[in-house]
Amino acid sequence: MLRRSRRRDAKLYRAVDIQLVIFYQGDMKIIRSILVVSNLFGGLNPLRAADAPTEFKVSEFTFTRPASWEWVESASPMRKAELKVPDTKTKAKAEVVFYHFGAGSAGGTQANVERWLRQFEEPRDRIKAKSEDVTIGKHKVTFVSAEGTYKSGMPGGPQTPMPNYALMGAIIESGEGSVFVKMTGPKELTRSAAADFKKMVEGALK
């Protein structure tokens, strides 16, 4: 009975996750911690294809999930939607996360571009950093890409270096607050998924 109790307690401890939410008030950055249940019901596992939504909404935008990408039920309140991009040859996966914090709550576009690029160990001139501003419909979108050793982990917490990784991101500006779409994963896989990533973002704005 004691062993069962310990295993149960350990499982419950693993189910609790502390997330950091960053709020911006003027030029001040306020960090709050949120205690969330992340794995108690297996919430981070991809859904079966039959149960996965084809379309999903983040803020005012409706996105269409690429057919081969997996839908993930994320329990984190920071993540408004989450997808996985599978590599059938290597079994590796890239992660695509959607964030929306509301109007005036996430800082400006350029500040977030710089923050994403700082998530690589190498200096900016060695990570093939690119940033492109485009207008789609009524909205400005900033596409960001970089390659190198990505530092995986929560801000301010322990981070794991992931060599030969790439980032593909999009920041969609809106009066309701910007929507952030961020894909990270093995370099070759992320490169191969870039066209579908852009198509998904552009489709939500037309």
DSSP state of 124: G
pTM, entire model? 0.77
pLDDT for 22: 43
Tell me if the domain spanning 41-203 has CATH number 1.10.3720.10: no
Residue 96 CA to residue 70 CA, distance in Å, equals 10
pLDDT for 98: 98
pLDDT for 46: 61
Report mean pLDDT in 10-residue bins for the chain, 206 residues.
42 36 40 38 49 92 97 92 95 97 89 97 97 97 99 87 98 97 98 98 96
Residue 51 CA to residue 72 CA, distance in Å, equals 11
CA 78 to chain centroid:
9
pLDDT for 75: 82
pLDDT for 31: 39
pLDDT for 47: 58
Decide if 96 contacts 84 (C-beta within 8 A).
yes
